Chain A
Amino acid sequence: MIPQLVTLRMNRPGGRRPLRLFIPVLPVLLILSPLLLLAVLAGAVACLIFRVSVFGALRGIGHLLSALRGTRIEIEQGHTAVLVSLR
């Protein structure tokens, strides 16, 4: 299953309020679906040009997306911090 929620948190220097974004993946994908369709078509054409299996590539990308769940990246430098979490 692909990640359902992407959490983005940024602590900014100077005592400003941290920025928190909760991005629901499925609604965003639905909104971007026309663009995604174009990207998939472009990818399929590229696969045909470079003689790569289209279904193999789609399956591989599907596996990659579904494996992203649980990824967490946290970077802190002094008062500045960035957190990206995929759940």
Chain B
Amino acid sequence: MNEQRRQVLQMLAEGKITADEAERLIDALSGEEAEASPSRPKARPKYLRVLVMSDDNFGGDGKGRINVRVPLQLLRAGVRLTALIPPQALTQANAELSKAGVPIDLTQLKPQHIEELIEHLDEVTIDVDQPDAKVKVFCE
């Protein structure tokens, strides 16, 4: 409870104001608080953005810049497609991964897990700052 409300209640308790007046004052204070801190929900990001700026002079052509904007919806659609991969293909992929020294069981990776990952991707910001290159990954 803030100080002004407390004062209003104090005045009511002391009989300086009536209950109706106290109600009006509290309503007025609530209105002021709502104006002071509008509780608008934060807009959800729609795009994943990757920015790369390089000072490297590949081939003597000058600086390089990459700017990619991908809708997050596209990532979700891609994840839904993974549900269509037949189990025998996943088994084969697992075997090849194991042979390559990457013991990951792709059958344990469910679309809902990846969906959750994408849901929380909007809070991710990656900043790589090198003297000759900058990489920034974020959602907007």
Q: Which residues of A contact B (CB under 8 A)?
A: 13, 50-53, 56-57, 60-61, 63-64, 66-80
Closest B residue to A69 using CB positions? B71
Whether B66 contacts A57 by the Cβ 8 Å rule is no
Contact residues of B: prevailing secondary structure? mixed
Inter-subunit contact A77/B58 (CB<8 Å)? yes
Nearest residue in B to A80 (C-beta to C-beta)? B61
Q: Which 10 pairs show the lowest CB-CB distances between chains A and B? A: A78-B62, A78-B61, A67-B73, A63-B77, A74-B67, A67-B74, A72-B69, A76-B65, A60-B81, A67-B77
Flag whether B78 is at the interface (Cβ < 8 A): yes
A-B contact list, 5 entries, CB within 8 Å: A52-B86, A63-B76, A70-B71, A75-B67, A78-B64
8 Å CB contact of A71 from B63, B71, B80: B71
Query: Known: A67-B73, A71-B71. Is A79-B86 also a contact (CB below 8 A)?
Result: no
Interfacial chain B residues near A63, Cβ < 8 Å: 76-77, 80-81
B interface residues (Cβ-Cβ under 8 A, vs A): 46-47, 57-59, 61-71, 73-74, 76-78, 80-81, 83-84, 86, 89
A79-B71 contact, Cβ under 8 Å, with A63-B77, A64-B81: no
| CB pair B64 A76 closer than 8 Å | yes
Question: CA of A70 to CA of B41 in the docked complex: distance in angstroms?
Answer: 23
Query: With A and B bound together, what is the CA distance between A8 and B104 in angstroms?
Result: 39
